[in-house]
Copies of this chain bind each other. A is one copy, B any other.
Amino acid sequence: MAKTNPGRFFEDYQLGEVIDHAVPRTLSGGERALYHALYPARHALASSDEFARACGLPAAPLDDLVTFHTVFGKTVPDISLNAVANLGYAEGRFLQPVYPGDTLHSQSQVIGLKQNSNGKSGVVYVRTTGRNQRGEAVLEYVRWVMVRKKDLDAPAPDTFVPELKPVLAPFDLAVPEGLDFTGYDVALAGEPHRLGDYEVGETIDHVDGCTIEEAEHMMATRLWQNTAKVHFDATFREDGKRLIYGGHVISMARALSFNGLANAQMIVGLNGGAHANPCYAGDTVKAWSEVLDTAETSAPGVGAIRLRLVATRGGAPFQLRGDDGKYLPDVLLDLDYWALMPT
């Protein structure tokens, strides 16, 4: 029996099955520093203990995407080692901030299976939950991936496609306990714009750009203990290119969006997302956003803003799809999320 992990194939998943993912991870100020070194991240709440305390939190939480990447990375050996494509995200809820010293682990449940008509692959839907050392859920999200079959003769499972919310409702969002934006300091945060200053349909070109290097995306992806070969091994693909982890593009775009959305402080909901085109080293990532919705929350001074975040490879802002309905070749990411913002 081979000792190495071959990954799972489509026929290895059972509907309802629960998978405990290996290698829990304790996070520290080191991960925060690296996050700031890898991305131009400046949201004040994740940057300053003092700012966070003035907003009712015990200290600055780690960037919400540190939580996402850490929880996600653990699932790779069990879910996407043999994935052909990462098809989508839905119902992502950030349930609780994560602080330096917390230890995260991940668990996934198979909530849907659908073999493709070609019989060679199928779509696996999992709901993944990240928990801290107290067993409290910090994040849950649904992801579906296309996975190869190994044994083409294995019988197709009963098809079950879960019903997923296209968008989380504001009351689905978990606002961190104690969060209070009534004394929010817009000068320290970097921009004066509050929730009322944004209109649904408004678009924002985030102006800045970052050209990505191989060393950076590999360091980021290893940091989350994501093990997919294709990100690290230049001999793996025939063209000698290393595919950049989609989450690296998410973090880069989110950090770039500070310029224009400095007060969109915490990501609390992930409605959906598509990695429209692959990203490679040498690409210059730029970003633009569109305001999709705004809402109130029950926390004092805290509103919610729903945003489309688009990362491009230097493409013109506000262009998303061609006449054929397909993403334009310069579009890397189309993400739909909820963030918290002072009212």
Chain A interfacial positions (CB closer than 8 Å to B): 2-5, 20, 22-26, 28-34, 36-44, 47-51, 60, 77, 100-101, 103, 105, 133, 187-191, 193, 197-198, 204-211, 213-216, 218-220, 222-223, 225, 227, 229, 232-236, 242, 259-262, 282, 284, 314
Q: How far is the CA of A130 from the CA of B173 in the complex (A)?
A: 37
Q: Which residues of B contact A190 (CB under 8 A)?
A: 5, 22-23, 77
- B210 lies within 8 A of A232 (CB): yes
Residue in B closest to A227 when the chains form the complex, CB atoms: B40
Residue in B closest to A48 when the chains form the complex, CB atoms: B24
A interface secondary structure, majority:
mixed
Can you list 23 A-B contacts with CB-CB less than 8 angstroms, sorted by A residue number? A3-B191, A3-B197, A4-B206, A20-B187, A22-B187, A23-B43, A23-B188, A23-B189, A26-B50, A29-B29, A30-B33, A37-B222, A39-B222, A40-B227, A41-B225, A42-B225, A48-B103, A49-B103, A50-B103, A208-B227, A211-B232, A213-B213, A234-B284
Q: Which residues of B contact A5 (CB under 8 A)?
A: 190-191, 259
- A40 lies within 8 A of B222 (CB): yes
- B260 lies within 8 A of A22 (CB): no
- B26 lies within 8 A of A28 (CB): no
- A44 lies within 8 A of B22 (CB): yes
Q: Which residues of B contact A218 (CB under 8 A)?
A: 210, 213, 216
Q: Which residues of B contact A187 (CB under 8 A)?
A: 20, 22
Q: Which residues of B contact A261 (CB under 8 A)?
A: 3
- A23 lies within 8 A of B36 (CB): no
Given contacts A29-B100, A77-B190, contact A209 B229 (CB under 8 A): yes
The quantity of this chain's copies bound in the complex is 3
Q: How far is the CA of A28 from the CA of B46 in the complex (A)?
A: 13
Q: Would you list the 5 A-B pairs with minimal beta carbon distance, nearest first?
A: A30-B33, A28-B29, A22-B190, A215-B215, A24-B48
Instruction: For residue A267, give the distance in angstroms from its CB to the closest CB of chain B.
Output: 18
Residue in B closest to A32 when the chains form the complex, CB atoms: B30
- A24 lies within 8 A of B50 (CB): yes
Given contacts A28-B29, A218-B210, A233-B208, contact A188 B22 (CB under 8 A): yes
Q: Which residues of B contact A43 (CB under 8 A)?
A: 23
- B50 lies within 8 A of A4 (CB): no
Q: How far is the CA of A242 from the CA of B213 in the complex (A)?
A: 12
- B34 lies within 8 A of A37 (CB): yes
- A24 lies within 8 A of B44 (CB): yes
- B208 lies within 8 A of A47 (CB): no
- B31 lies within 8 A of A47 (CB): no
Q: Which residues of B contact A232 (CB under 8 A)?
A: 40, 208-211
Q: Which residues of B contact A282 (CB under 8 A)?
A: 234
- B47 lies within 8 A of A314 (CB): no
Extra pairs beyond A23-B47, A209-B236, A213-B214 (18, CB < 8 Å): A3-B198, A3-B204, A3-B260, A3-B261, A4-B205, A5-B190, A22-B191, A23-B43, A23-B190, A25-B47, A34-B37, A40-B232, A48-B103, A49-B133, A209-B235, A211-B214, A215-B215, A233-B284
